[in-house]
Amino acid sequence: MLVVGLTGGIAAGKSTASSEFRALGVPVIDADEIARQVLEPGETSYTRVVEHFGPSILDDTGRIDRGRLGNVIFTDPEQRKHLNKCTHPYIRRRILWQLAQLYMCGHSMCVLDVPLLFESGLHRVCAKTVVIECPREVQLERLAQRNGFTRVEAEARVDAQMRSDVRAARATRVVNNTESVDELRSEIRAIVSLWRPSWVRAAMGVAAPVGVVVGLACVWMPWGRAVLGMATAWIVGSLVLW
């Protein structure tokens, strides 16, 4: 399975790119959504974060207010590091589990949508990476319009990420989102058309998970050889019919 890492500057258009990947039938693992999940009440990350930052980051329902938490971590690099320490291991674990599920389901390609792809080290599980960029002033304007941030608040969030030139240097493909939304979507369609594995690779992707299961059966189950024979016949038959 081809794993494509997707990242970019805040408010650069990464969400639009992600939605286009989905529209093209490519499954997307959204690290932001997982980050929200691990900060739900009852989760280990929630407990650790509240213990460190205190009840002032909670809303009236007892949930973590991301705006309040953001005001703390984006003005203090040490606090941001501590938040990452409390959350990243649990986010990474869920991402890897979802990757394993997609692989076992026989998907030939998936996208790993992570704002801090390179900073977190998750680029190491990606065969290719796409970085969405746009001019800094455009980012600041979008943050002011979309989130109601002051210029100082917007700059703090932009500056908290890796510099755009450093991201671009590490990317397989850089998409400069300076034109229309249609142009950005067109760029993503071109990437999928170019990178989506061929039918041969897709077939191998379906066969590989079966091989893993069969291998485990051969090791642990007394009827493993029978399973191996049937699975081999199924794989060969599938490839011939394909």
CATH number at residue 126: 3.40.50.300
Query: Considering the chain, what is the average pLDDT of its residues?
Result: 87
- Point out the least confidently predicted range of 103-107, 111-115, 166-170: 103-107
The pLDDT confidence band at residue 236, using thresholds 50, 70 and 90, is very low
For residue 238, pLDDT over 50 is answered with no
Q: Are residues 187 and 169 in the same domain?
A: yes
Q: Are residues 173 and 79 in the same domain?
A: yes
Parent domain of 203 = 199-241
221-240 b/e with 16+ CB inside 10 Å = b? Answer: eeeeeebeeebeeebeeeee
How do beta strands 173-176 and 128-133 pair?
parallel
Using alpha carbons, select from 208, 216, 21 the residue that is nearest to residue 106.
Answer: 208
Q: Are residues 212 and 181 in the same domain?
A: no
pTM (predicted TM-score): 0.81
For residue 230, pLDDT over 60 is answered with no
Q: Please give the helix or strand (H or E) that residue 88 lies within, else none.
A: helix 77-104
Q: Are residues 207 and 178 in the same domain?
A: no
Q: Are residues 112 and 174 in the same domain?
A: yes
Number of domains forming the structure of the chain: 2
- Asked whether the beta carbons of 9 and 133 are under 8 A apart, the reply is yes
Q: Are residues 100 and 189 in the same domain?
A: yes
pLDDT of residue 198: 73
Handedness of CA 123, 125, 131, 132 (dihedral sign): negative
